[in-house]
Amino acid sequence: MQPYHDVLSLPILAAAAVKAQSCVGFDGEPAGEDEPVFGVSHFDQVAGREVTCTVLGVMPLKATGPILKGARVVSSATSGAKTAGATPANPIGRALNDAADGEQVRVLLSSR
């Protein structure tokens, strides 16, 4: 099974160091918990250089806490994904598989 499916990727200028497969905010920095997410980075990048991010598609993220298949997810404080609360401000998509804390979860990226 392919871990990702890239429908649309766009570059963004990294304002801080970015790790591969992490949520990147619209400010070009790693996204914090339940912050608006521009996309998920394809590779590590240093500040001041462009990093390509999937903005539409399926991308793997590191789970922060348990995530159930089908759950809405938000960015976590570690630029991964976590289960969204009852009223998330910035959902990034839905989990396509169950994942325990620290495991990889495939996320269908959408703002719904």
The one-digit pLDDT tens for each residue of the chain (112 residues) are: 467 788 999 999 999 999 999 999 999 999 999 999 999 999 999 999 999 999 999 999 999 999 999 999 999 999 899 999 999 999 999 999 999 999 999 999 986 6
Both 83 and 100 in a single domain?
yes
Threshold 0.85, pTM exceeds = yes
Q: What domain count does the chain have?
A: 2
Both 38 and 70 in a single domain?
no
Both 52 and 66 in a single domain?
no
Pairwise CA distance, residues 63 & 75, whole Å: 10
Both 66 and 51 in a single domain?
no
Pairwise CA distance, residues 42 & 6, whole Å: 10
**Which residues span the domain enclosing 29?**
5-56
Both 83 and 65 in a single domain?
yes
Comparing C-alpha atoms, which of 67, 79, 83 is closest to residue 33? 79
